[in-house]
C-alpha cells in the first residue's frame, strides 16, 4: 500500500485512534541513515494565487493501518503571524499510557531554544472506536478543539464560535485534525510553510514504519528541528478561504461608498527579471463621486526595487490609469519593472488588476503572474 492510500485511509477511517499498547520495534542492523541535509530543498518565498488545505497537502503523520497507530513523521513547519516567525514539529500523539489524542508539540521562535508543550485534544474520535460518537458530536464540552498560542505556550478549549472571534490562538487540534487561525477558520493572519521532511522515512514513496518507530523511540526528530532554516524566506501558503496573495481585505477597505487604501501593508513581488525584487504597496486611492455614486477612481502604488539582493532603493510612486466605474469590467496588466501597462499576453506582465462594477457594487482584485509574498506590515 502506498503512502497516499495510507493517508487517505487515515482521514476516512480515523480522526482519533483507540488505545493500543505501543512497544519499541526491533531495528535491522543494516538500515542506513541518509544524510539529513540532502533532503533540504532550496528556499523561495514566492507563491502563486492558490489556497491549499495545508495539512492535507503536508501531513504531519503516517497511519500504520495494520497496527492502528499514528506515527508522527517529524516534519518541520514554519509559522508566520504578525510578522513573527516560529518553527513547529509534532512529536507525539500518545501519552505514556498509549492513549491517543495526546499531543506533544515542539516549537521555538526563529532564534530561540526548542520548547515542548503537552496537551489533550481527543475530541469525539470516530464511529469505529466510540459507541457514543453521534451523541458526542452534540456535546459542546467534548467535541471541541484545543487551541495553542505559540507566543505563550498556553492551550485551552473553546467553541468554534468563540474561535471565530479570537485572534490569540495560532493552531488548533482535535483528534488528528489541525487548523490554523486564518482564512475561513479564524480571524488571524497565521500562515504555514513546509520546511523539511526527512525523505528517508519514505523510501519508494511508501512510509517506512520501522524507521518512523525508531525515531519515535529515540531523538524524536530533534535533529531535523535543529536545522537552521531561513524562516523569513520560506514559502508560506495561502490558507483555505484566501484565494490571492495580494488579497482584497489587506490592501483596501470600504469607507461608505469609497475605497480607502491600507498603505501599511506591503508585498514582495517577483517579476520577469529574476535578478530584481520589488516591494509593492498601495499608497493611496483617490475617488470622485457624483449623486452619491463613485464615478472615477485612481490607484497610486508605491514601489521599491532591490537589484541582485542589494538593499532596496527609494520608494517611487506610480499612478495607474483612471478607472471609469461606469464600465462593467476593467482589466489592467502591469509591467512592474518598467511601470507600464502592457498586453496581458506579454511575458512582462507581473500583476493583473481587475475591477468589476455591478451597480453600486465594486470588486477590485490584484492577481500575481510570477509570484509574490506578504502582506508584511511596515
First-last CA distance in the chain = 49
* 315 and 183 co-located in one domain: no
* 231 and 271 co-located in one domain: no
* 235 and 87 co-located in one domain: yes
Q: What are the percentages of helix, strand and coil residues in the chain, rounded to 5? A: 15, 40, 45
Identify the pLDDT of residue 124: 85
Residue where a domain terminates, one of 213, 239, 265: 239
Overall domain count for the chain? 2
Residue for grid cell 488528528? 176
pLDDT bucket at 20, cuts 50 / 70 / 90: very low
- Give the DSSP H or E segment for 225: helix 222-225
Higher pLDDT, 4 or 310: 310
Identify the pLDDT of residue 35: 65
What whole-number distance in Å separates Cα of residue 236 and Cα of residue 51?
11
* 229 and 257 co-located in one domain: no
- The pLDDT tens digits of the residues spanning 214-233 come to 999 999 999 999 999 999 99
Q: Of the given ranges (137-141, 167-171, 189-193), which has the lowest mean pLDDT?
A: 137-141
Tell me if the bond preceding 375 is cis, omega within 30° of 0: yes
C-alpha cell at 235: 514559502
Contact between 345 and 278 under an 8 Å Cβ cutoff? The reply is: no
* 40 and 17 co-located in one domain: yes
* 216 and 320 co-located in one domain: no
Counting residues of the chain whose pLDDT is more than 90, the rounded percentage is 76
Residue 132 has pLDDT above 90, yes or no: no
* 298 and 324 co-located in one domain: yes
- The pLDDT tens digits of the residues spanning 281-308 come to 999 999 999 988 899 999 999 999 999 8
* 188 and 252 co-located in one domain: no
* 176 and 254 co-located in one domain: no
Phi and psi of 45, rounded to 5°?
-80, -10
Residue 329 has pLDDT above 60, yes or no: yes
* 201 and 152 co-located in one domain: yes
Identify the pLDDT of residue 19: 40
Residue where a domain terminates, one of 199, 221, 239: 239
Enclosing domain of residue 359: 248-377
C-alpha cell at 181: 487561525
* 219 and 304 co-located in one domain: no
Residue where a domain terminates, one of 194, 220, 239: 239
Amino acid at each position: 500500500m502506498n503512502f497516499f492510500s495510507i493517508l487517505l485511509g487515515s482521514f476516512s477511517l480515523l480522526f482519533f485512534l483507540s488505545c493500543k499498547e505501543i512497544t519499541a520495534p526491533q531495528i535491522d542492523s543494516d538500515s542506513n541513515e541518509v544524510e539529513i541535509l540532502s533532503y533540504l530543498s532550496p528556499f523561495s518565498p514566492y507563491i502563486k494565487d492558490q489556497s491549499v488545505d495545508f495539512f492535507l497537502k503536508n501531513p504531519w503523520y503516517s497511519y500504520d493501518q495494520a497496527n492502528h497507530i499514528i506515527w508522527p513523521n517529524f516534519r518541520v513547519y514554519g509559522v508566520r503571524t504578525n510578522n513573527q516567525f516560529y518553527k513547529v514539529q509534532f512529536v507525539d500523539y500518545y501519552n505514556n499510557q498509549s492513549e491517543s489524542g495526546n499531543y506533544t508539540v515542539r516549537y521555538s521562535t526563529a532564534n530561540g531554544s526548542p520548547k515542548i508543550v503537552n496537551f489533550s485534544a481527543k475530541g469525539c474520535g470516530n464511529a469505529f472506536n466510540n459507541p457514543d460518537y453521534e451523541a458526542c458530536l452534540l456535546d459542546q464540552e467534548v467535541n471541541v478543539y484545543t487551541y495553542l498560542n505559540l507566543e505563550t505556550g498556553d492551550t485551552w478549549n473553546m467553541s468554534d464560535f468563540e474561535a471565530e472571534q479570537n485572534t490569540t490562538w495560532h493552531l488548533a487540534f482535535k483528534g488528528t485534525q489541525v487548523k490554523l487561525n486564518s482564512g475561513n477558520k479564524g480571524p488571524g493572519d497565521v500562515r504555514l510553510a513546509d520546511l523539511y521532511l526527512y525523505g528517508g522515512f519514505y523510501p519508494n514513496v511508501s512510509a517506512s514504519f520501522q524507521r518512523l518507530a525508531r525515531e519515535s523511540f529515540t531523538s524524536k526528530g530533534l535533529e531535523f528541528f535543529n536545522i537552521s532554516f531561513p524562516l523569513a524566506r520560506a514559502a508560506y501558503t495561502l490558507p483555505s478561504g484566501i484565494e490571492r496573495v495580494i488579497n482584497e481585505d489587506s490592501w483596501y477597505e470600504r469607507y461608505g461608498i469609497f475605497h480607502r487604501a491600507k498603505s501599511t501593508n506591503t508585498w514582495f513581488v517577483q517579476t520577469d527579471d529574476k535578478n530584481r525584487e520589488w516591494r509593492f504597496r498601495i499608497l493611496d486611492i483617490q475617488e470622485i463621486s457624483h449623486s452619491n455614486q463613485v464615478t472615477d477612481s485612481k490607484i497610486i502604488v508605491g514601489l521599491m526595487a532591490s537589484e541582485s539582493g542589494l538593499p532596496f532603493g527609494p520608494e517611487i510612486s506610480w499612478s495607474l490609469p483612471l478607472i471609469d466605474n461606469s464600465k462593467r469590467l476593467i482589466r489592467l496588466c502591469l509591467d512592474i519593472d518598467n511601470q507600464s501597462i502592457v498586453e496581458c499576453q506579454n511575458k512582462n506582465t507581473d500583476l493583473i488588476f481587475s475591477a468589476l462594477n455591478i451597480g453600486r457594487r465594486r470588486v477590485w482584485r490584484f492577481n500575481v503572474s510570477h509570484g509574490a509574498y506578504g502582506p508584511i506590515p511596515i
